[in-house]
Amino acid sequence: MAYNPNLAYFLTRLQGVSTNYFRLEPQNTTTASANKIIKFSLPSNCLLNTKSLSLMFNADANGVAGAGGRLPAGLEMLIDRYELSSGGIQIAQGFNQYGVFCKAKNMMCGDRTDPTLAHPEIVRAKSYVDGSTITTTGNELYSSDANRTQFCLKNWEGFLGSVNPSIIDTSLLSDCVLTLYLAGNEVLSSSAGVALDGAGAGDITDVGTGTATWNMKNFHLVVETIGLADGVLHNLVARRMSEVGYIELPYKTYYSFSDTHAGNTRFSVASQSLDRVWAVWRAPLYDTQKAPVVVSGYKTNALTTGQFDQGVFDTDREKYNGVYYNFKEDPDNANVPPTYQFNFNGSFIPQFKAQAEQMLAITRNSVPTLDNHKFDKMPMSLKQYKDNFFVQCVRLSLPEAEEGREICGVDTRGIALNAYFSTTGLKGGSGTTPNLVLFAETTSTMRVGEGRAIEIIH
């Protein structure tokens, strides 16, 4: 039995520590746009802090004049997938709709978006980034002169944000390359004007030409490297390799499945540890560029306060979602609540057909709870959850297992996993069937041996 850490007196000294930061330029291009690829070579022969990796860039929606283009709320949406390789071997293969997962996780776990550097809200007429004004059908534009970079992405999912320990000795690996696959123009919004919703034909919520495009310039990585004056760490690693043959680093891997959901969506994953399954719901034609959607309860032109009583839930302000990441429950009959249930080879989770409220309670119990980089949760009403933030999650491992580097999820490698997400009561007619994206969260391990040999176990 151990004492509470608040009663434990101890101090650890580590001398000869040095830190520094480096700017890494892209390998293949200096400007980019929708659906392009960017590559970076990561530092070698150093202790690399993976959680410090920051993508700095300038971005705008000024590709087509008069399109009313707006950047998304949360610029993770501009990344569709990333992969990391070492010596040509894939460490992290990435998964499609990376930005959608980041948005969904932020909604349920607390928004980690840096409000200063990451464009957390859609701009209507007056930009909070630089104070510039947008008029009529103008686009959101920021100057890239003198190598300016207004934005930064630094909270990563997958390998970069979850590998443990997060400080990696890259001398143990071959040259590491980070590849970013950029999202398409469908993540943008296109507006016919800048007025508040309900003012007429020139509202922010009236669709524009639908032809907005985006550009990225001046992009580079900023990373922290760490130095140790003695060889203690090197000796520890060498001894571990000689005793076991390798050192092992766990990290999260995700697989995405997108379907036009008509009652049942099937998915299958072969993994040593299936930890969670996330479900994200979107309306039909989510990938057609449209105007932003007012989040339920927030301010419109007809109201001096929000749509709720006296701005309950901090709604005395504006807030919009792009249709690409507006997550919504769409019942077929307003008087008959839809139900939801996962099926894993005949094992049901939950053991009953759950309604939205019950699934939300299960989700709250399933999502990660320990995160040193987490911001406070946004206050969210039940109506807002169903109209704009409809995300569900079930956990298949022990609570907070990743914090203790525990692999305890379902091992699906030796079985033919047939998993389904089944629902009742959702719209399912022609042109009304919702889009469902499932994200399977797993734990993978990278084994690093002598001679820079690596083995990936998914």
* Contact yes or no for 56/221 (Cβ under 8 A): yes
What is d(CA 366, CA 439) in angstroms, rounded to the nearest whole number?
Answer: 14
pTM, to two decimals: 0.94
**Number of compact structural domains in the chain:** 1
CB atoms within 10 A of CB 398: 12
Q: CB–CB of 266/282 below 8 Å?
A: no
Which residue shows structure tokens 């008069």? Answer: 66
In a domain, residue 420? The reply is yes
Cα–Cα distance measured from residue 59 to residue 41, given in angstroms and rounded to the nearest whole number: 22
Are 42 and 85 in contact, with CB atoms under 8 Å apart? no
Residues 444, 458: Cα–Cα separation, whole Å: 4
Kindly tell me the number of DSSP H helices and DSSP E strands found in the chain. Answer: 5, 23
Give the structural domain span for 36.
17-457
For residue 176, is it within any domain?
yes
Q: What is the pLDDT of residue 73?
A: 95
Residue 364's SS3 state is helix
State in Å, rounded, how far the first CA of the chain is from the last one.
Answer: 35
pLDDT for residue 372:
44
In 3D space, the residue among 39, 11, 94, 57 whose CA is nearest the CA of residue 458 turns out to be: 94
Residue 7 domain-assigned?
no
Q: Which helix (H) or strand (E) holds 441?
A: strand 435-448
pLDDT at 306: 66
Work out the number of other CB atoms within 10 angstroms of the CB of residue 373.
11
- CA atoms lying within 13 Å on the CB side of residue 359: 26
113-129 burial, b for 16+ CB within 10 Å, e for fewer? Answer: bbeebbbbbbbbeebee
pLDDT tens for each residue of the chain, 458 residues long: 566 767 777 777 888 899 999 999 999 888 899 999 999 999 999 999 999 999 999 999 999 999 999 999 999 999 999 999 999 899 998 999 999 999 999 999 887 788 899 999 999 999 999 999 999 999 999 999 999 999 999 999 999 999 999 999 999 999 999 999 999 999 999 999 999 998 888 899 999 999 999 999 999 999 999 998 878 888 888 888 888 889 999 999 999 999 999 999 999 999 999 999 999 999 999 999 999 999 999 988 866 666 888 878 888 899 999 999 999 999 999 999 999 999 999 999 999 999 999 999 999 999 987 554 444 566 899 999 999 999 999 999 999 888 888 999 999 998 889 999 999 999 987 678 999 999 999 999 999 998 889 999 98
450 HSE (CA, 13 A, CB side):
8
Question: Phi-psi region for residue 97, left (φ > 0), alpha (ψ -120 to 50) or beta?
Answer: left
Could you tell me if residue 8 is inside a domain? no
Structure tokens at 186: 């469908």
Q: Which residue has the tokens 């009529």?
A: 136
CA distances 288 to 27, 173, 185, 208, 212, Å, are 32, 42, 9, 12, 11
CB 421 within 8 A of CB 353: no
Q: How far apart are alpha carbons 434 and 81 in whole angstroms?
A: 23
CATH number at residue 60: 2.70.9.10
Whether residue 374 is contained in a domain is answered as yes
Q: Going by C-beta distance under 8 Å and a sequence separation of 6 or more, which residues neighbour residue 160?
A: 50, 51, 53, 82, 84, 92
Burial classification of residue 184, based on how many CB atoms lie within 10 Å of its CB (0-12 exposed, 13-18 middle, 19 or more buried): middle
Partners of 138 in the β-ladder? none
> Does any domain span residue 10?
no
Q: What is the C-alpha to C-alpha distance for residues 288 and 212, in angstroms, rounded to an integer?
A: 11
Q: Which two tokens stand for residue 408?
A: 């305890």
Q: What is d(CA 208, CA 191) in angstroms, rounded to the nearest whole number?
A: 4
In a domain, 129, yes or no: yes
Phi, psi of 258 (to 5 degrees): -115, 135
Alpha-helix residue ranges (DSSP H) falling in 140-191: 159-162
Per-residue b/e over 411-444, b at no fewer than 16 CB within 10 Å?
ebeeeebebbbbbebbbbeeeebbbbbbbbbbbb
Element (H, E) at 382: helix 382-388
Q: Provide the β-strand partners of residue 420.
A: 266, 343
- Domain assignment present for residue 388? The answer is yes
